[in-house]
Chain A
Amino acid sequence: MSALLEQLTRRQLLWHANSQHTAYQAVPSGYAELDQQLAGGFPATGLIDIQTDTGIGELRLLLPYLQQQQSGGRLLVFLSPLAEPCADMLCAAGIVLSQLVIITPKTGKDALWAAEQCLQSGCCASVLLWQVPLKQAQARRLQLAAEQGAASLILLRRPQQGLSLPVNLSIKLQAHRQGVLLSVQKRKGGWPAAPFLVDMQNRWPGLCFSTEQHWQARRKAS
């Protein structure tokens, strides 16, 4: 019996239920509840799909992860960011600005080309790509490039229906007064999870309404 098992294992025909946590190497995200849900954190390599509205805290969620990715001395690339990135905020979050490259290509095609080059090169740790429509074949190509260069590509796009992309991790973010509401849609070697709150009150008190503030009178500006 064991000889047969061994043979099957060697031919990679057997799947062990306990081998699922080796689907990817995880990097702690800096948020304890998120690490617990994602079994260790964000993937160190491969594609990470984040479906989110802009400005609800998606970059704040990623900053500790990006900082760790960058700590090996490799580059961090911002590809077609929405507006001018602000040095103050990134610097305060511990991002080394000399290892940050911002690329503003004119077309989506150029953006994908640049993403592939950066991922393949092996000198980039993470590439953030904003709002570029992606087909499945393109996503697969980027996934291969990312594996080749041991880099991660983070896709930030609006919530959308459609075929899911071949990614290591797909999450959806929703705005919340104390942080962001995160739901795991797809995880390699794991199960989707129900929405849960990633609390940012400790890290970003200025950008959260504390629970006591609820009763306070709302000041409106118009």
Chain B
Amino acid sequence: MALYLYLQFPALQPDSLGCTAAQQLPVAVVNEQHCIVQLNTVAEQQGIALNMALGTAAALCHNLQLLPYQTQLQLNILQSVARQLYQVTADIALDPPDGLYIRLCNMLQLYQGLAGYWQALKHELQLLPYRYYYACGTSPFAAKCLARQQLNLLSGEPDVLASALNHSPLRFTELDTDSQQQLQRLGINTLGQLLALSQAELARRFDSSLLSYLGRLRGSFYHALHYIKPEHSFSRYVELLYDITDTAVLSMPLHSLLLQLEQQLQRINAACHQLQLGLLFRGMPAYQLSIGSAQGEYRAANWLKLCQLQLEKLKLTEPVSGLQLEVTAFVLQQSQSDDLFQPAPSAVSALQLVSLLQARLGYHSVSGLILQNQHLPEHASQRPLPLLAGKAAVAALALRPAFLLAKPERLTEAVEINHGPERLCPNGWVLEAQRDYFIGRNSKGQWLWLYRTAQQQWFVQGIFS
């Protein structure tokens, strides 16, 4: 027997405001018709009800906090809930704006019955801040109809479900208001009365949409549901309740986002190398920060540290109104094996250290050093990204200075020559550009690497240290 579960979330937007201050204030969501569509519990206690006009609500409660209804935000939250639940149940379909269809029948064997299944699902739902209503049904529409009545009915018995469905008033069905009015004029008030009528009679008096609805409600027509598939990416947006100008305060909402990322990464045993953090402003285009970790990291605490280092450097010209966190690619977690006899238990690996330094000092301030097979000294050393192994085959020349000056300087003092000349020519053997290199010591005792050009001019290019 097919069995479906419908979850309805009556107040996704108010519940998604994470901070505790928001939970103590009455918050309501208003649609474009100035009608209240979502409420938090505090607002409910103040006497505000759904579908109340804005004026009435404002008169009832002086400190009512209003949020505009946002379709996209609603959908995003719903998707994030579905992704969360995907960890325990397989077939989930979205029913925008506020519902989820879940196919139960093929999960019952795994959880050994409805009770075990519900326990697992409930545990997952309790981690989320959203209130919900639920009901089972033999078809998706039946479950939806029962859940909309806030029955919280959980049963696999067809008789129980059928009787509950028969008592359902018509306003909880998917029928349009015209059909509902028509049926009410005929004296049909509950779904049971409607289902008792013969289909041929209904087909004569009503249009096909009623029949197709009833067919899908009974389960005799096929109801196509678009089940979600997990993505290997992470994208969350959090709207801040008040604008934040201090980057230190920003780390609080950021941490909760990173914890969500950690949860998702930990479940699939993955890590990520790069985060895209978007700071959204009211009057300016969003500012994008990209935060990298060379090792690949999943822990929220470590990511937060890296983010904070980048945020510290940032000067906010305008308060931040929202945070967007995106990760486009996941990688497999690699466990590193440490040396058992290492003198210091290194809490940080070399790659982690490099990421940390790069986050604070800038990407280009941290580099490695490799030796190239070049005869000109300025080309022989290169500064690539750190911790890269260069070509091992290159033979090093021993008598080279430890430091090369960025630009050769003219020699202005007397030096004592100890070694040389060594003639080097740039590519193409341009004779005018050839240089004769000497090693000399000046009066202060510094060992310098000098060259004489073909024009008999002397320059200092390096310092032996």
Tell me the nearest residue of chain A to B442, going by C-beta. A55
Q: Which of B73-81, B88-96, B261-269, B388-396 contacts A (4 or more CB under 8 A)?
A: B388-396
Q: Which of A58, A84, A88, A221 contacts B396 (CB 8 A)?
A: A88
B51 near A: Cβ within 8 Å?
Answer: no
B287 near A: Cβ within 8 Å?
Answer: no
Min CB distance, A84 to chain B, in Å?
5
Within 8 A of A (CB), among B163-180: none
B345 near A: Cβ within 8 Å?
Answer: yes
B424 near A: Cβ within 8 Å?
Answer: no
Q: Which of A103, A149, A207, A219 contacts B365 (CB 8 A)?
A: A103
Task: Determine if B405 and A117 form an interchain contact, defined as CB atoms under 8 angstroms apart.
Answer: no
Q: Which residues of B contact A72 (CB under 8 A)?
A: 342-343
Q: Which residues of A contact B114 (CB under 8 A)?
A: none
Q: Which of B339, B366, B377 contacts A86 (CB 8 A)?
A: B377
Most buried by B among A91, A99, A103: A91
Tell me the nearest residue of chain A to B353, going by C-beta. A121
A92 near B: Cβ within 8 Å?
Answer: yes
A19 near B: Cβ within 8 Å?
Answer: no
A120 to B380, CA, bound (A): 33
A57 to B401, CA, bound (A): 11
Tell me the nearest residue of chain B to A52, going by C-beta. B465
Task: Determine if B357 and A103 form an interchain contact, defined as CB atoms under 8 angstroms apart.
Answer: yes
Tell me the nearest residue of chain B to A84, going by C-beta. B404
Q: Which residues of B contact A117 (CB under 8 A)?
A: 353, 356-357
A139 near B: Cβ within 8 Å?
Answer: no
Tell me the nearest residue of chain A to B347, going by C-beta. A122
A164 to B416, CA, bound (A): 35
Known: A84-B404, A86-B377. A207 touches B343 (CB 8 A): no
Min CB distance, A116 to chain B, in Å?
11
Q: Is the interface of A mostly helix, strand, loop or mixed?
A: mixed
Q: Which of A75, A85, A221 contacts B350 (CB 8 A)?
A: A75
A70 to B364, CA, bound (A): 24
Within 8 A of A (CB), among B352-383: 352-354, 356-357, 360-362, 365-372, 377, 380-383
Number of chain B interface residues as a range: 35 or more
Q: Which residues of B contact A120 (CB under 8 A)?
A: 348
Known: A89-B400, A207-B418. A83 touches B371 (CB 8 A): no
Known: A105-B365, A113-B360, A122-B345. A209 touches B401 (CB 8 A): no
Min CB distance, B183 to chain A, in Å?
73
B403 near A: Cβ within 8 Å?
Answer: yes
Within 8 A of B (CB), among A59-77: 59-60, 72-73, 75
A83 to B339, CA, bound (A): 35
Q: Which residues of A contact B465 (CB under 8 A)?
A: 54-55, 57-60, 82
A160 near B: Cβ within 8 Å?
Answer: no
A75 to B377, CA, bound (A): 25
A37 near B: Cβ within 8 Å?
Answer: no
Min CB distance, B405 to chain A, in Å?
5
Q: Which residues of A contact B200 (CB under 8 A)?
A: none
A11 to B367, CA, bound (A): 48
Q: Which residues of B contact A75 (CB under 8 A)?
A: 350, 353
Within 8 A of A (CB), among B385-442: 386-390, 394, 396-406, 411, 413-419, 438-441
Known: A89-B398, A103-B361. A221 touches B440 (CB 8 A): yes
Q: Which residues of A contact B14 (CB under 8 A)?
A: none
Task: Determine if B344 and A88 form an interchain contact, defined as CB atoms under 8 angstroms apart.
Answer: no
Known: A83-B405, A88-B400, A150-B343. A98 touches B387 (CB 8 A): yes
Tell me the nearest residue of chain B to A81, going by C-beta. B403
Task: Determine if A83 and B406 form an interchain contact, defined as CB atoms under 8 angstroms apart.
Answer: yes
Min CB distance, A120 to chain B, in Å?
8
Task: Determine if B369 and A122 form an interchain contact, defined as CB atoms under 8 angstroms apart.
Answer: no
A193 near B: Cβ within 8 Å?
Answer: no
A187 near B: Cβ within 8 Å?
Answer: no
Task: Determine if A220 and B380 form an interchain contact, defined as CB atoms under 8 angstroms apart.
Answer: no
Q: Which residues of A contact B204 (CB under 8 A)?
A: none
Known: A57-B465, A87-B382, A100-B369. A149 touches B404 (CB 8 A): no
A206 near B: Cβ within 8 Å?
Answer: yes
Min CB distance, A93 to chain B, in Å?
8
A157 near B: Cβ within 8 Å?
Answer: no
A98 to B370, CA, bound (A): 7
Min CB distance, A76 to chain B, in Å?
10
12 further A-B pairs in the complex, CB-CB below 8 A; given A53-B446, A86-B377, A122-B347: A55-B463, A56-B447, A60-B402, A82-B403, A85-B404, A88-B397, A90-B402, A103-B365, A104-B365, A123-B353, A177-B441, A220-B415
Can you pick out 6 interface pairs between chain A and chain B where the beta carbons lie within 8 Å of each other? Answer: A55-B448, A56-B446, A82-B465, A90-B369, A97-B371, A222-B458
